[in-house]
Structure 1
């Protein structure tokens, strides 16, 4: 069973703005990766179909499949991990999540489903749908 990662997308306003930034990053580096200080110890489980779930503006809103986890050492000799990602950004049902530092393991049973918004709310702006969901109306 694959294991996922959850991570804040700091400074991102929406999945669309994350996609724009990643398109720019890919043009510069030839691929999409996120550099983090700590390397996951459960690498085999993550590479068995795991994804990184992005928290944007207080909720999980999208995910990307993890292709590889590469160790990287900078010029000063500090070790980092590059989380190499598939370019496809998959929308998820918004799932509230508070801020945290770094990344965390995110088991499948905690992951939101792969759909933008349930209950016929696809036409609603994200902030309005979030507020209606908080009120228990959708």
Structure 2
């Protein structure tokens, strides 16, 4: 049986999880079958594991803050003739405990045991702490 793997991706230009939601819901025309997709140049080599319950974890302002379940990987050929990978995502962004993450390029794999925990539905509507404060609290085990 195939295990599960996740991806980590910087959400460049986003100041909050709400901005990611707004972009995906209202501004982006990147859709396959009505679902938003994130376009990347590289195709994940661990495709079977990613499609076995994997998610993309979003880093916003230096902190891992939310995730979205990966629904499929689709080939997209750009106007330049280059093959790219469309990572089709579930529309629901699930907030996670906040974890600091240093900048990196592209995306990285994330083992399930290293992934931050989801926040419960009851906490999803809590007033968001500033990411730097939430990160410091997480470092000392308060969040």
Alignment map for 1:77-92 (pairs within 5 Å)? 77-92=81-96
Aligned 1:1-138 pairs, distance under 5 A? 1-25=3-27, 29=31, 30-115=34-119, 122-123=126-127, 125-127=129-131, 129-130=133-134, 132-133=136-137, 136=140, 138=142
Normalised to the residue count of structure 2, the TM-score between the two structures is 0.83
Structure 2: which 5+ residue stretches go unaligned?
121-125
**Cα distance change on mapping 1:44 and 1:25 into 2, 3 Å:** farther
Partner of 1:119: none
Q: Distance in 2 between matches of 1:131 and 1:50?
A: 24
Q: 1:80 to 1:129 in 2, by over 3 A?
A: same
Instruction: State the aligned residue count.
Output: 133
- What root-mean-square deviation, in Å, do the aligned CA atoms of Structure 1 and Structure 2 show? 2.1
Counterpart Cα distance in 1 of 2:30 and 2:81: 24
Work out whether residues 61 and 92 of structure 1, in 8 Å CA contact, stay in contact via their aligned partners in 2.
yes
Cα distance between partner residues in 2 of 1:106 and 1:135: 19
Gaps of 5+ in 1: 117-121
Indicate if the aligned counterparts of 2:53 and 2:69 stay in contact, CA closer than 8 A: yes
Decide whether aligned partners of structure 1 residues 81 and 94 sit closer, same or farther in structure 2, where only a CA change above 3 A counts.
Answer: same
Taking the aligned partners of 2:38 and 2:141, their CA distance within structure 1 comes to 36
